[in-house]
Structure 1
Amino acid sequence: MTITSYQVQNILRTYARQLSRGQRLARARSSAEENLADRVNLSIEARRKQVIEKITSEIVANIGSRAPGLKESWGGVEDAALARLSTEYGQKLAIRQDEHSGRLMFNVVDEQSGEVLRSLGAEESAGLQQRLYRITQEVIDENMLS
């Protein structure tokens, strides 16, 4: 029995097709696995950010209505954030909720006596509230388990 050159070429062509198909499938599998791993990591980070924002919003919304120094359910996050904000501002700050608008208003307080030295305006209070929000996010992120 003799093997013709046509048969040898046909076998080699078939073998080459099988190899290239296998390589394409392997690349597709590895690409799919990488994409899945990336999606899972992004989803975990997005979920973490979402949780931090939800907790921050709740804390900042409730911070004006609680008594100063009271460490309720957040383990002193409010006090830590307010202390950091006061340090950045350069003077001790206290927060109160405006009765009419419901917005947070800031007061500058004497550190020794605890007396209110002056009340800050609405515009300055709004800027401080935004900064308090960002600081609270940072404190929560630092304290949150990875």
Structure 2
Amino acid sequence: MTIKPFQVQNMLRHYGQHLDQGRRMARYRMLLQRASPEDVVNLSQDGRRKQLVEKIAAEIMDSLMVSGSSNPVVLEIKEELEREFGFGMEFRYLPLEPELQILRKEGEELTEVVGEEKQTILQRFWRITLAKVNETML
């Protein structure tokens, strides 16, 4: 029996999606365990909107950007980041690593962005994502 390369790639893609989903579920479980009944707060409509925008922005950063989504909002965010910093970027999680990895694309070569530059990119990534989500929500 021969196994074709696209079958291997498909299997690896699905495995990566399962890893991403597992990470998200673990984070949500930790947040739920920390929450207590006294933590319930009534928010105004603006507060609820802000909370929803932040939740969607976090989901875009945690999963959609990493999965290579073709969502127009995700593509706009990525283009704006690349335009501001002047190089192509790839986002991914390494197996068993909770932290997002940012890779600088220079031709075919990928190098990891670390330190203060990574923090600057992540901060700008968060601000751009919040702004895009806020402007696209009704």
Report the TM range for the smaller structure's normalisation. 0.5 to 0.7
Which fold has the larger relative contact order, with Cα–Cα distance below 8 Å and residues 6 or more apart in sequence? 2
One-letter amino acid of the counterpart of residue 96, structure 1: R
Give the corresponding residue for 1:46. 47
Which of 82, 85, 95 aligns to 1:99? It is 95
The structural deviation recorded for 1:134 is: 1.4
Which of 67, 79, 82 aligns to 2:75? It is 79
Higher Rg of the two aligned structures: 1
Give the corresponding residue for 1:127. 120
Report the secondary structure of 1:87's partner residue.
helix
Cα distance in 1 for residues equivalent to 2:87 and 2:62: 23
**Distance change >3 Å, CA 99–CA 127, structure 1 → 2:** farther
Give the corresponding residue for 2:63. 62
Say whether 1:90 aligns with 2:124. Answer: no
**Distance change >3 Å, CA 65–CA 91, structure 1 → 2:** closer
Say whether 1:108 aligns with 2:104. Answer: yes
> Is the Cα–Cα contact under 8 Å of residues 97 and 104 in structure 1 kept in the other structure?
yes
Q: With structure 1 as the length reference, what TM-score do the two structures score?
A: 0.56
The structural deviation recorded for 1:50 is: 1.0
Count of matched residue positions in the alignment of Structure 1 and Structure 2? 96
Structure 2: runs of 5 or more not aligned: 1-42
Report the secondary structure of 2:95's partner residue.
coil
> Is the Cα–Cα contact under 8 Å of residues 93 and 109 in structure 1 kept in the other structure?
yes
Give the corresponding residue for 2:135. 142
Structure 1: runs of 5 or more not aligned: 1-41
Q: With structure 2 as the length reference, what TM-score do the two structures score?
A: 0.59
One-letter amino acid of the counterpart of residue 109, structure 2: V
One-letter amino acid of the counterpart of residue 79, structure 2: A
Question: What do residues 39-97 of structure 1 show as CA deviations (whole Å, max 9, x unaligned)?
Answer: xxx8222121111011111111113541x3x32xxx33222111111111111111121
One-letter amino acid of the counterpart of residue 102, structure 2: F
Cα distance in 1 for residues equivalent to 2:79 and 2:99: 20
Q: 4+ residue stretches of structure 1 with deviation over 4 A?
A: none
Cα distance in 1 for residues equivalent to 2:123 and 2:94: 16
Give the corresponding residue for 1:118. 111
